Amino acid sequence: MPVPSLWIDIFEKVKALGFNTVSFYVHWGLVEYAKDDFNFDGYLSLEPLFEAAKKTGIYLIARPGPYINAETTGGGTPGWGTRVPGAWRTDNQTYIDAMEGYVRTVSRILAKEQITEGGPLILVQPENEYSYCFEIPNCPVPWPQPGYMEKLQKMMREEGLVVPTITNEVQYTSSNYAPGSGRGEVDIRGYDNYPLSFICNDTATWPNNKLPINFWEVNHNLSGGNPNSILEMQAGAHGRWGWFSTEDCSILTGSSFERVFYKNYVSFSTTIFNLYMLYGGTNWGGIASPATITSYDYGAAIKENRLLTREKYSELKLLAQFLRVSPAYTTTRPLNQYPVNTVNGSVYTTNSDLAVTQLADVVGNRTAFWIVRHAAYNSLQESRYKLQFPTSRGNISIPSLGGQLTLNGRDSKIHVSDYDVGGTTVLYSSGEILTWKKFSSKTVLVIHGFPGEIHETAFLSKSRDIQQVDGDALENSSSKNGIVTINYKITKSQTVISVGEDLQVVVVNRNDAFDFWTPEWNGGAAIVRSPYLIRSAEVNPPGTLALRGDLNQTKVDAEIFADGKIHSLTFNGRAVSVEKTVYGSLKYQIRTSNLKVSLPKLEGLDWRYIDGLPEVKTDYDDSKWTAANLINTTNPRKPTTPTSLYSSDYGFHTGNILWRGHFVATGKEDSFTVQVQGGSAFSASMWLDDKQIAYFPGVYNVALKNLTGTPPILQAGSKHVITILQDHMGLEQNYGPGGDLHKIPRGILNYDFGGLEANKVTWKVTGNLGGEHPVDRVRAPVNEGGLFAERQGFHQPDVGKSLWRRGSPLDGLTTPGVRFYSTTFDLNIPSNLDAPISFNIANNTAPQDFRVLLYVNGYQFGKYASNLGPQSSFPVPEGILNHRGRNTVAVSLWAMSLGGAKLESFLLKTDGVIETSMHPVVPMPQPSWKQREDAY
Let me know: does 459 contact 450? Beta carbons within 8 Å: no
Catalytic-labelled residue, pool 113, 129, 258, 915 = 129
Query: Cβ contacts of residue 480 below 8 Å, gap of 6+?
Result: none
DSSP annotation string for 485-512: EEEEE--SS-EEEEETTTEEEEEEEHHH
Query: Cβ contacts of residue 190 below 8 Å, gap of 6+?
Result: 125, 166, 167, 168, 169, 229, 230, 231, 272, 274
Mark whether 129 is an active-site residue.
yes
User: What gap in Å lies between CA 165 and CA 901, rounded to an integer?
Assistant: 53
Query: Cβ contacts of residue 308 below 8 Å, gap of 6+?
Result: 13, 301, 302, 314, 532, 533
Amino acid identity of residue 698, one-letter, is G
Catalytic-labelled residue, pool 232, 315, 669, 772 = 232
- Alpha-helix runs per DSSP H in 389-496: none
Let me know: does 669 contact 754? Beta carbons within 8 Å: yes
Distances (CA, A) of 471 to 367, 401, 496, 557, 655: 30, 19, 6, 16, 61
- Note every long-range contact of 509-515, with CB atoms under 8 Å and residues 24 or more positions apart, other chains counting: 509/448, 509/449, 509/450, 509/451, 510/318, 510/448, 510/449, 510/450, 510/451, 512/448, 513/318, 513/434, 513/446, 513/448, 514/311, 514/314, 514/315, 514/317, 514/318
Mark whether 232 is an active-site residue.
yes
Distance of CA 449 to the CA centre of its chain: 29
- What is the 3-class SS of 179-247, one letter each residue? CCCCCCCCCECCEEECCCCCCCCCCCCCCCCCCCCCHHHHHHHHHCCCCEEEEEEECCCCCCCCCCCHH
Query: Cβ contacts of residue 507 below 8 Å, gap of 6+?
Result: 431, 447, 448, 449, 471, 473, 488, 490, 494, 495, 496, 497
User: What gap in Å lies between CA 875 and CA 858, rounded to an integer?
Assistant: 15
Residue positions annotated with a catalytic role: 129, 232
